[in-house]
């Protein structure tokens, strides 16, 4: 089954404790992206990757890191999480970039709480 | 980047057609319009996308006006499971992100 998986689905952590949220897709997609969703603000892009070893900042990259060493994986790293990073996070992938390339597949989401 | 506007909420009776409007007057000639929906806090689900011509798939139909300033998503026979937030979206100019607005909350009732 074609899908995007994220782990963990739920995480409660404390300020400053490094964490990684994993994202994996099994569709051989080139494009992958991370979004966060906050009440009243909608989904906003954090980082994206157009292909292996190619990553770039989205609209809200501060406090996050990513890497794309393999085509299927795109982990999101919070080196020193803070309470303002409490949010619902979504990973997404698509075959190519978004300008007319068709559908983007989203993962099930990771609900992160930083205390 | 193109901006889309949608009504905040709509109601629909089960079995009837749901027509969800979207204004995108600033969209450029080569920018696609995408529709996604999100049920509760699940990951957004792709519905359909189009450029100029009307489009139809197994989920919905998309009607785009000739001037491309607006579009309508049609769910032909709404069910309770279609209750969700529906987003009309245009990618950013670079084609690297979907620009989500607040969407339309569609409530389908029996």
Query: pLDDT under 50 in chain B at which residues?
Result: none
- Any chain A CB within 8 A of the CB of B77? no
Counting Cβ atoms within 10 Å, is residue A53 exposed (0-12), middle (13-18) or buried (19+)?
exposed
B82: three-class secondary structure by DSSP: helix
Q: Which residue has the higher pLDDT, A89 or B1?
A: A89
Average pLDDT over residues A89-104: 81
Q: Which residues of B touch A35 (CB under 8 A)?
A: 100
DSSP-based three-state secondary structure for A83:
helix
d(CA B87, CA A44): 13
Q: Is the dihedral of CA A81, A86, A91, A97 positive or negative?
A: negative
Question: DSSP secondary-structure letter at B44?
Answer: P
Q: What is the mean pLDDT of residues A62-89?
A: 97
Per-residue pLDDT tens for A28-61?
A: 999 999 999 999 888 999 999 999 999 999 999 9
Confidence at A67, pLDDT banded by 50, 70, 90: very high
**Contact list, B103 vs chain A (CB under 8 Å):** 42
């Amino acid at each position: 089954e074609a899908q995007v998986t994220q782990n963990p689905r739920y995480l409660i952590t404390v300020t400053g404790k490094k964490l990684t949220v994993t994202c994996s897709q099994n569709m051989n997609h080139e494009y992958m992206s991370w979004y966060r969703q906050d009440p009243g603000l909608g989904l906003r892009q954090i980082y994206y990757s157009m292909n292996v070893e190619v990553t770039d900042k989205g609209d809200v990259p501060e406090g996050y890191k990513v890497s794309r060493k393999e085509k299927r994986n795109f982990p999101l790293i919070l080196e020193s999480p803070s309470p303002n990073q409490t949010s619902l996070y979504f990973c997404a992938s698509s075959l190519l970039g978004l300008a007319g390339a068709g559908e983007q597949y989203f993962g099930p989401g990771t609900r992160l709480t930083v205390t | 980047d193109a901006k889309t506007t949608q009504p905040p909420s709509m109601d629909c009776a089960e079995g009837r057609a749901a027509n969800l409007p979207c204004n995108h007057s600033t969209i450029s000639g080569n920018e696609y319009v995408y529709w996604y929906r999100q049920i509760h806090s699940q990951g957004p689900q792709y519905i359909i996308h189009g450029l100029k011509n009307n489009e139809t798939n197994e989920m919905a139909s998309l009607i785009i006006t000739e001037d491309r300033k607006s579009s309508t998503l049609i769910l032909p026979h709404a069910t309770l499971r279609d209750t969700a937030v529906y987003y009309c979206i245009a990618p950013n100019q670079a084609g690297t992100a979907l620009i989500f607005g607040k969407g339309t909350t569609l409530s389908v009732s029996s």
